[in-house]
Amino acid sequence: MRAHALSAAQLDEPRLDTLDVGAGTGFATEGVIAHVDAARVTMLDQSPDQLRRAQAKPALAACRKVLGDAEDLPFPDDAFDRYVSCGSIEYWPDPERAIREAHRVLRPGGVAMVAGPLPPSGRTARWLADAWMLFPSRSDYVGWFEAAGFDDVRVVAMDAPWGSSAGDGGYAVAVAGRATRNGAPAPSPNETVGERADEPWTARRLLRFAAGSLAGALFVPVGIYMNLRARRAPERSA
Ligand SMILES: C[S@@+](CC[C@H](N)C(=O)[O-])C[C@H]1O[C@@H](n2cnc3c(N)ncnc32)[C@H](O)[C@@H]1O
């Protein structure tokens, strides 16, 4: 799955300056450095703890580690040839803004690839998913890329590691596009959407927090149960 997603990023040359956003402990980055010189790879994450764990991996020692926010990248315009992000978009409060940032930091002709989930198919799973995290549709991903100024936008569908195909025609997608000279204007610092850490703890926020936490806790076991049930159904009807 990792190799499939990364193939959309066109890591076809070892000297590509590459940014991995939401790099975490570096699972996707390990796939990137199979194609690109590690010293040309920058890992960005908002979590110091994740970056510390990445730092402990000898294979990633040469990669630059930067603490920062996908929606407000601490890099100048036109700094990279490639932008990759795997399994992080679902945590971003304003993905459209983050993808504009991807375009801003890429040189014209550079390629961005974002891999993320699709909405699950079952009604219960979809409800839990929506209460918990972001599960964008294919058209959301493509729309954000196009609005940011990318052209040649492509979608690579990915099946679940356990083999079932769910939701919007798949389990996850890798969406890639080529940066142009006509990017959307850089997001302004005042332009924030989504959650604020300093939002007061009203009853409504507490309820939202409790519902989101419960949905997150239930999502995996419910998903496993529904998957097993779907697998057994054809066996039973055979
Ligand atoms: C599920 S992990 C994926 C890590 C990695 N890409 C991989 O393939 O294993 C998601 C990562 O996204 C990071 N993240 C979430 N929101 C972020 C943001 N707004 N800016 C930067 N990193 C973010 C988290 O800290 C976490 O390390």
Residue nearest to atom 8 of ligand 1 (CA): 28
Residue from 67, 83, 88 whose mutation best tests the ligand 1 pocket (most atoms within 8 A of CB) = 88
Average pLDDT score over residue span 93-119: 96
The pTM assigned to this predicted structure is 0.83
- Average pLDDT for the chain: 86
Q: What is the DSSP letter of 146?
A: H
Q: Is residue 153 part of a domain?
A: yes
Average pLDDT score over residue span 84-97: 95
* C-alpha of residue 200 to centroid of ligand 1, in Å: 25
Average pLDDT score over residue span 180-201: 69
Number of domains in the chain: 1
- What CATH number does the domain containing 41 carry? 3.40.50.150
Ligand 1 atom, smallest distance to 50 CA: 27
Query: What's the pLDDT score for residue 119?
Result: 84
Q: How many other C-beta atoms lie within 10 A of the C-beta of residue 47?
A: 14
Average pLDDT score over residue span 194-220: 70
Q: Is residue 44 part of a domain?
A: yes
Core vs surface per residue 195-218: b (16+ CB within 10 A) or e: eeeeeeeeeeeeeeeeeeeebeeb
Q: Is the predicted pLDDT of residue 9 greater than 80, yes or no?
A: yes
More confident of the two residues 165 and 207: 207
Q: Is 105 helix (H, G, I), strand (E, B) or coil?
A: helix
Residue from 91, 96, 133, 193 whose mutation best tests the ligand 1 pocket (most atoms within 8 A of CB) = 91
Q: Distance between the two ends of the chain, CA-based, in angstroms?
A: 31
Domain that includes residue 160, residue range: 2-186
Closest CA to 67 of 83, 44, 85: 44
Q: Is residue 199 part of a domain?
A: no
Q: Is residue 221 part of a domain?
A: no
* C-alpha of residue 237 to centroid of ligand 1, in Å: 42
As separate numbers, helices (DSSP H) first and strands (DSSP E) second, the chain gives 7, 7
Q: Of the spans 143-147, 157-161, 185-189, which averages the highest pLDDT?
A: 143-147
Q: Is 2 helix (H, G, I), strand (E, B) or coil?
A: helix
Q: Is residue 211 part of a domain?
A: no
Q: Is residue 33 part of a domain?
A: yes
Q: What confidence category does residue 202 fall into, taking pLDDT thresholds of 50, 70 and 90?
A: confident
Radius of gyration over every alpha carbon of the chain, rounded to an integer in angstroms: 19
Query: What's the pLDDT score for residue 199?
Result: 73
Q: Is residue 195 part of a domain?
A: no
Query: What's the pLDDT score for residue 193?
Result: 54
Query: What's the pLDDT score for residue 11?
Result: 97
Opening angle at CA 233, ends 231 and 236, nearest 5: 120
Cβ atoms of 64 and 80 within 8 Å: the answer is: no
Average pLDDT score over residue span 113-136: 78
Residue nearest to atom 4 of ligand 1 (CA): 24
Q: Is residue 90 part of a domain?
A: yes
Query: What's the pLDDT score for residue 210?
Result: 75
Query: What's the pLDDT score for residue 26?
Result: 97
Q: Please give the sequence-ordered ranges of beta strands (E in DSSP) within the chain, or none if there are none.
A: 18-21, 41-45, 64-67, 80-86, 106-117, 151-158, 172-178
